[in-house]
Amino acid sequence: MQPLGVHTSIKSSLLNSIEEAVELGCNTFQIFLHSPQVWQIPEFDDTTTEEFKKQRKLNKLNPLFVHSSYLINLISSNPKTINSSKYLLKREVMAADNLEADYYVIHLKDNKDMEKNEIFKKTFEGFNRIEDLKGCKILIENTAKSKITANITDLFETYEKVKTENIGGICIDTCHLFAAGYDITKDEGIKRFIDEVQAYGDFSLIKLIHLNDSKAQVGAGIDRHEHIGKGYIGMEGFLNFLSIKELSHIPLILETPKKRLEDDRKNLNQVRKILKKLRS
């Protein structure tokens, strides 16, 4: 069965993320380690960490994904921001590894005034400061607008240029893919995606799919997630995309709008309908 889950909350406690995943009937999940809009990261005590790992194992939630802070910018024009980003990146990845997360997902920042090679060099330097990990691997996510991660060709080039032993692959976000100009509602858009992955990378490098509809039209370059089936991708678009046989085993994580847990439940049900249709 293809792993299916959502981004769950650690607002009240780290263990709350597991409780939400279980209540929603998920078999995988994603979390932040702290508010993604602040630089401070908490220390999780050993008791909480061990209980988290125990409960995850008991509930068979695999794999576990940790999402990076939104503040990390390894190519900022501000040296202070770069230093803070390197520090936070290392702290987050090491904390994810300590929780026995399988993957740590990050979107890389772009810099319109910086050449690609300089971006690659500075990004590699940030990743290279991370110590060897026990098991967690870093995934680089595609973005809606960027000269290094929006197009599939650029995404795989970036992966190769910044790769260290700790980087394990790619995350594909459907909203970002659509916003970057890949019209997955149409056969030609699906073909373009498949052809570029096969020509410039490999499907085996895709370790996660963020399954999100888009509030913006194709090619808009705008990252605005929408409920499954309620945006410009729509149910047929997701049916097309999830029909790609090379993606049939890759974990799906929803990052759709959420005001309450019921919103996640509705979106999960929509995806389950699509997966059931594909299996029938």
For residues 247 and 42, the model is more confident at 247
Report the CATH number at residue 231. 3.20.20.150
The whole-angstrom separation of Cα 236 and Cα 229 is 8
| pLDDT-derived band at 280, boundaries 50, 70, 90 | confident
Looking at the 3D structure of the chain, how many domains does it have? Answer: 1
Q: What is the pLDDT of residues 153-204, one digit of tens each?
A: 999 999 999 999 999 999 999 999 999 999 999 999 999 999 999 999 999 9
pTM: 0.97
Neighbouring C-beta atoms of residue 166, cutoff 10 Å: 17
Cβ atoms 89, 49 nearer than 8 A: no
Tell me the two tokens of residue 237. Answer: 């678009």
Classify 29 as helix, strand or coil: strand
Listed in sequence order, the residues at least 6 apart from 274 whose beta carbon sits closer than 8 Å to its beta carbon are 235, 238, 239, 242
Residues spanned by the domain of 188: 4-279
